[in-house]
Amino acid sequence: MKSERQRPDAAKGSGPAKATSPARMSGKQPAKGGTKGGAGSVRVVFLGGLGEIGRNCACIEVDGRILVLDVGIMFPDPDMPGVDLVLPDFTYLRENADRVDGIILTHGHEDHTGGLSYLLRAFPAPVYGSELTLALARNRVDEAGMASQAKFIPVRDGERRRIGLCDVEFIPVTHSVPHAFATAFYTPQGVILHSGDFKIDLHPVDGRRTDLARMGALASDPGIRLLLADSTNAEEPGFTPSESTVGATLDKVFRARPDRRFIVTCFASHIHRVQQVTDAAIAEGRSVSTLGRSMQKNVALARQLGLLHIPEQSLIDIEKIDDLEPGRVCVISTGSQGEPMSALSRLATGENRFFKLQENDVVVISAHPIPGNEWSVGRVIDSLHRRGVEVIHSGVDAVHVSGHARQGELAMLMSVTKPEFFIPVHGEYRHMANHVRLAETMGIDGDRVLLCEDGDAVRLDGNGLHRDGTVPGGYLFVDGSSVGDIGHGVLRDRMVLAEEGVVMAVATVDLKRGEVVGTPQIVTRGWAYDHDTEALLGDARAVVTKALEQALSSGSNDHENLNRVARKALGRLVGDRTRQRPMIVPVIVTV
C-alpha cells in the first residue's frame, strides 16, 4: 500500500459538506501543536469524533508525553463517492510519534478501534483495553498483517495503571458492546474523566453497571477537573431504556409466532443483544444458528471469553436448519445496516447460498440504522416484504434500544461527577451544542465549558481551561489500498461524473500548418440528452473546431491553451443548450 502521504487539501480539508473553521484551514498553528509546556502541563488534543459520529480519537498530554484515546473510523457520507473509510488525520501523531506512550481503547466499536491498523503502520505503540475490546480490535489489525506491530495489554474493571507519565483508571460503563470503559487520567492538573460511549443501564444483561459510585468517589476526592462526555443522544430527552427491555419484547414476539422461522439481525459486537435473542429463542424450544462471518466470529469469541452463554446442544449449523421445523429455528444474522454484501441483504435478494427466505418467515431487525444507512436499510425492508416476509423493526415494536445516554443520564453524570470544566465529545455539532445547553441547566456554564471541534487543542492549568491552538483535524480518506491520496478535487470530480456524466472532445491539430485535422469527435458517458442530440453533437464538433482554429490563427498554440479553449467552447454550448454541467474533457492530439 502507499504511504500515508497526503495532498494539502486532504490533510487540511474536510469532506465537501463538512465545515472547517478558518483557523484550522489556515493551519496557522504549527502541526507540532507548539507547546510541550513546562512541568505539569496538561493538554487535550481532539483529532476526531467532535463534529461527526465516527473516527473518535483524542490525545491526553502530560508534560509533552501523549496517550492516544481511541483510534476510530467513520463510514463515508453520500458525498464521498468511492471512499471506503474515513480516518482521523494522523499528521499530528506521526510528527510526534516519539512522544506517544500508548494507545487506550475505551471499547470495541469500530468508530473507536477501526483505525488502529492504520496508526500502527506509522509507528508501534502498546495498546490497552478490556480483553474483549482488544480481541475485537485485533481482528482488523490481523487482517492488515499488522499483528507484529502491536502489543496488546488487557486491563480489568477498576484497574489503575501507570501508562507513560500518567495513572489511568478504567471504570466500567454500560454500552452496546460489553466491557466498555470510562477512563480517568490522573494528571498534575487534576483528574480528567472521559465517559467513553455509555448509558446508565440499571439492569444490564451481564449485571455490570456503569460505576457511578466510583465516579462519585473521584468527584469528592480528589475532585474531577475536566469531564469529557458522550453527546450522541444529547438531543433526546429522558432516559435510554435498559437493554434488558429488549429481551422482554423479544420474548413476546417469539411467543406470538410459535410456528414460524425467525431471522434476527443485530450488530455482531452487540453480545448482550445476541444473548437475549438466543435466550428468547431457546425458551421457545428453538435451536440457534449464526449467519455472516463477523457474527460467527464474534459469537465464538464471546463464548470463549465466557461473555456469551449458549448451550452447545442449542447451536446448529446453518446448513442443517432446513432439517428442522420452522418453529424450531432462529437464525442470528449480520446485515442490520443494509450493507449490500451482508447476509441479510443476500437473503432479501434471494442470493444467500445457505437458505432461502419463505413466506412464513419473520425477520427482526434489532438495530437502528447508523446515520446515512437509513436508505439501504429501507431498501432491504422493502425487498423482505416483497418476499412476503413479516418484518419487525424498531418502528414496529421495541426490538432495539440505544447504547448511548440521553439527557437524563447525561445530567446524572454531571451531577455525580461535579466537574470543574466540561467539554462535550462524540457527536455531530448539534449533539455537542445541545450537550453544552444541558450543562448550563446543571450550572456548568460560561468559561467552564468549551465547545471544541476536530483539530482543536485545549490546555488545563492553574488558571483554568483554555484553547491552545489547532492541529490538522480533517478527513483522511481510505479508498482501496490508498490512504490519503484522495483529495477534495477527486471527490468533486466523482460527484460531477456521478450526477452529470462526461462529454469529451477528441481533436487532432497540425501545429505546423496551424489547422485542425479532420472533424473532432465528441464522446459522452453518463450524459442524458434528448432527441435533438445529433444536432447538438454536430454543433459541438463545429464549436470545438472553430475555437481551436481561432487559437491557432492567433498564434497561441501551446497544448494547455488549446485544451482550455476547447473546454470552454464546448462547456458553454452544452450549458446553454441543455442547462446541464457535465464534466468537459478535451483531448487534443498535436502532430
- Report CA dihedral (78, 81, 82, 83) to the nearest 10 degrees: -60
C-beta of 120: minimal distance to Zn ion in Å? 20
Q: Which of 111, 230, 454, 468 is catalytic?
A: 230
431 binds Zn ion (CB under 5 A): no
C-beta of 176: minimal distance to Zn ion in Å? 6
CA angle 165, 167, 173 (to 5 degrees): 140
Taking the alpha carbons of 276, 279, 285, 287 in that order, is the dihedral positive or negative?
positive
Say whether 211 is catalytic.
Answer: no
C-beta of 181: minimal distance to Zn ion in Å? 11
With CB under 5 A as the contact rule, which of the stretches 107-115, 153-161, 333-341, 579-587 interacts with Zn ion? 107-115
CA angle 226, 227, 230 (to 5 degrees): 155
Helix ranges restricted to H, 221-292: 244-255, 271-283
Dihedral-angle region of residue 132 (phi above 0 means left; psi in -120 to 50 means alpha; beta otherwise): alpha
Q: Which of 197, 243, 479, 485 binds Zn ion (CB under 5 A)?
A: 197
Burial class of residue 395 (count of CB atoms within 10 Å of its CB; 0-12, 13-18, 19+): exposed
109 binds Zn ion (CB under 5 A): yes
Nearer of residues 60 and 105 to Zn ion, judged by Cβ:
105
With CB under 5 A as the contact rule, which of the stretches 105-113, 151-159, 185-193, 306-314 interacts with Zn ion? 105-113
With CB under 5 A as the contact rule, which of the stretches 97-105, 109-117, 165-173, 453-461 interacts with Zn ion? 109-117
Can you tell me the distance from the alpha carbon of 233 to that of 496, in angstroms, rounded to the nearest whole number?
A: 35
Can you tell me the distance from the alpha carbon of 577 to that of 532, in angstroms, rounded to the nearest whole number?
A: 10
C-beta of 53: minimal distance to Zn ion in Å? 7
Per-residue binding letters, 63-102, with Zn ion (x by CB under 5 A):
----------------------------------------
Say whether 230 is catalytic.
Answer: yes
468 binds Zn ion (CB under 5 A): no
H or E segment to which residue 333 belongs: strand 329-333
500 binds Zn ion (CB under 5 A): no
Residues contacting Zn ion: total by CB under 5 A: 3
Can you tell me the distance from the alpha carbon of 174 to that of 201, in angstroms, rounded to the nearest whole number?
A: 6
Alpha carbon of 413 to those of 168, 195, 403, 434, 484: distances in Å?
A: 19, 9, 15, 15, 38
Nearer of residues 116 and 565 to Zn ion, judged by Cβ:
116
111 binds Zn ion (CB under 5 A): yes
C-beta of 49: minimal distance to Zn ion in Å? 7
Number of helices followed by number of strands (H, E) in the chain: 17, 25
Can you tell me the distance from the alpha carbon of 270 to that of 276, in angstroms, rounded to the nearest whole number?
A: 10
Within residues 2-31, the interface with Zn ion by CB under 5 A covers: none
Nearer of residues 65 and 109 to Zn ion, judged by Cβ:
109
Q: Which of 175, 404, 426, 435 is catalytic?
A: 404
Nearer of residues 138 and 175 to Zn ion, judged by Cβ:
175
With CB under 5 A as the contact rule, which of the stretches 57-65, 111-119, 150-158, 432-440 interacts with Zn ion? 111-119
CB atoms within 10 A of CB 405: 30
Residues with catalytic roles: 230, 404
Interface positions with Zn ion (CB under 5 A) = 109, 111, 197
